[in-house]
């Protein structure tokens, strides 16, 4: 009889807790959709500051602006964390064409890949060799490649429902193509843009020469998907066509920048830290609204919503706007280094760096016990159509925090349109839907609320 009474009490308490959580999540979503600041913050970042490449004036303006806005929220602490970042400058706009016969040319849009060297002042003109992979490049070897421009033309796999999987399946040609092509005497590299859509926007992104000395580095550029199709067709008709491109980019010495950090101190477990964040830098072609202005303002919104709801967290909730994710990851590495030196205890990290689209769920990287607990919260998100809770990656900037105890997570919005804008000139404010952005911020806040309330068990 006594056991039955105890069981009834526990069931009543469980039901009360569930009801309370449902009500709290309802308040979070309602407040985000009616009183949120994320869209206004993004409007300023995008339209008043613009592209925020590491080391640029715009990157510093973004640091100043977001610190000012975090200060205005009445947080317990806001500060800047210094970090040295690379400074790469694109220079004057790139120019390219291919020549099918003497004097008959077709202009094509290209952009230098981030970190590339410039062409000689008069540009490069040579025959083109099309390949679909680094493996195919190696099979052709020096005899077929030397003195030519290598054209990497492997498209993203359209059959992949998760477009990030399609991206991962071909991004090696962008990142390592120039380093590999140099081995066989190539003069330069042209890479098909990482984009599922056929359009005229070339997409930039980071590339690496590995440990090649500067004197052995060859220029690398991305070509739009429409132009990649056109060039490929032209090569089938005439393998001897000539390709010309010119770019003026330059790498400078590292400069000082900052991670922007704000926090609400925990009331009962202040030494346990929950981090939410995105990266403040962006590429320079568009204004970086989806990548990753959206993630930054959503992360700021988490703390704003808690303040708006007068929610006093048990644990310390910290927002970090990381600098230099795009071409170095210096901000994420520096944050983790300082946290380790200060012996800080991070129990949870959540990153938003997949665009400001409709939230679908989260991927989690951490202890099985913590994941099992989080799975028990999934039904709370079902009314908001957020169903995907799965094991997987988290985010590049919070990745350096990984250890055996911390649970890391990434917000996973619908990915179908993301690569239409990723690293391209059309990654602009007009392509972000206000409601979708706010739903993402609310979804992040809801998860952080539950982690704060219940904690996460270690391995």
pLDDT at site 6 = 38
pLDDT of residue 7: 39
Quote the strand ranges of 280-403, DSSP E: 315-322, 345-351, 359-365, 388-391
Q: Where are the alpha helices (DSSP H) in 124-271?
A: 134-145, 163-168, 172-182, 225-237
- Angle of helix 294-308 relative to helix 2-35, nearest 10 degrees, comes to 120
Cα-based distances in Å from 173 to 147, 154, 205, 229, 441: 19, 8, 11, 17, 34
203 backbone dihedrals φ, ψ, rounded to 5°:
-110, 125
> CA 182, CA 67: separation in Å to the nearest integer?
44
Which one of the listed residues 325, 334, 425, 438 is annotated catalytic?
A: 325
Question: Coil, helix or strand for 458?
Answer: coil
Q: What is the pLDDT of residue 16?
A: 43
What pLDDT was estimated at residue 457? 84
Considering Cα of 29, then 31, then 35, then 40, what sign does the dihedral take? Answer: negative
For 3, list phi and psi in degrees, rounded to 5: -60, -40
d(CA 415, CA 353): 11
Residues in the chain: 459
Q: Phi, psi (5° rounding) for residue 342? A: -90, 0
Query: In whole angstroms, what is the distance from residue 282 CA to residue 47 CA?
Result: 14
Q: Is the pTM of this model over 0.85?
A: yes
Mean pLDDT per block of 10 residues along the chain (459 residues) reads 42 51 98 98 98 98 98 98 98 97 95 98 98 97 97 97 96 97 98 98 97 96 98 97 97 98 98 98 98 98 98 98 98 98 97 98 96 96 96 96 95 98 98 98 98 88
**Residue 317 has what pLDDT?**
98
**Long-range contacts, 106-109 (Cβ 8 Å, 24+):** 106/230, 106/234, 108/223, 108/224, 108/227, 108/230, 108/231, 109/200, 109/201, 109/202, 109/223, 109/224, 109/227
Q: Of all helices (H) and strands (E), which one includes residue 101? A: strand 95-101
What pLDDT is stored for residue 18 in this prediction? 52
Rounded to 5, what percent of the chain is helix, strand, coil?
40, 25, 35
pLDDT at residue number 449: 98
Does the active-site annotation cover 301? no
Tokens read off for 84: 């040295």
Give residue 458's pLDDT: 72
């Amino acid at each position: 009889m006594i056991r039955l009474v105890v069981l009834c009490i526990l069931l009543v308490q469980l039901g009360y807790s569930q009801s309370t959580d449902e009500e709290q999540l309802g308040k979070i979503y309602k407040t985000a959709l009616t009183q949120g600041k994320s869209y206004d913050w993004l409007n300023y970042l995008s339209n008043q500051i613009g592209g925020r490449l590491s080391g640029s004036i715009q990157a510093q303006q973004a640091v100043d602006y977001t610190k000012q806005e975090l200060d205005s929220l009445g947080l317990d602490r806001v500060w800047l964390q210094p970090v040295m970042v690379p400074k790469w400058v694109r220079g004057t706009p790139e120019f390219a064409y291919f020549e099918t016969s003497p004097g008959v040319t077709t202009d094509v849009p290209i952009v230098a890949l981030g970190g590339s060297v410039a062409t000689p002042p008069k540009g490069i003109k040579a025959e083109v060799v099309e390949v679909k992979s680094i493996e195919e490049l190696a099979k052709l070897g020096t005899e077929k490649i030397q003195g030519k421009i290598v054209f990497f033309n492997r498209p993203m796999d359209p059959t992949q429902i998760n477009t990030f999987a399609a991206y991962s399946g071909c991004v090696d040609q962008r990142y390592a193509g120039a380093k590999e092509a140099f081995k066989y005497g190539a003069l330069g590299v042209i890479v098909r843009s990482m984009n599922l859509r056929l359009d005229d926007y070339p997409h930039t992104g980071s590339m690496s020469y590995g440990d090649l000395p500067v004197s052995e580095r060859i220029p690398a550029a991305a070509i739009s998907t429409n132009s990649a199709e056109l060039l490929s067709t032209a090569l089938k008709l005439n393998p001897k066509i000539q390709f010309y491109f010119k770019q003026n980019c330059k790498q400078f010495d590292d400069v000082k920048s900052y991670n922007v950090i704000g926090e609400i101190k925990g009331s009962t477990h202040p030494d346990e830290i929950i981090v939410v964040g995105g990266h403040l830098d962006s590429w320079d072609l568009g204004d970086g609204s989806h990548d990753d202005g959206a993630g930054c303002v959503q992360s700021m919104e988490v703390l704003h919503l808690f303040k708006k709801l007068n929610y006093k967290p048990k644990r310390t909730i910290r927002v970090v706007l990381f600098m230099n994710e795009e071409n170095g990851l210096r901000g994420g590495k520096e944050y983790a280094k300082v946290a380790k030196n200060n012996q800080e205890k991070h129990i949870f990290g959540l990153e938003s760096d997949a665009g400001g689209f409709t939230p679908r769920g989260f991927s989690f990287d951490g202890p099985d016990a913590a994941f099992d607990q989080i799975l028990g919260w999934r039904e709370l998100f079902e009314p908001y159509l957020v169903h995907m809770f799965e094991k997987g990656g988290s985010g590049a900037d919070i990745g350096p925090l990984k250890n055996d105890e911390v649970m890391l997570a990434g917000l996973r919005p619908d990915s179908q349109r993301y690569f239409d804008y990723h690293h391209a000139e059309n990654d602009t404010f007009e392509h972000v839907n206000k409601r979708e952005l706010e739903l993402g911020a609310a979804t992040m806040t809801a998860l952080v609320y539950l982690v704060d309330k219940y904690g996460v068990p270690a391995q």
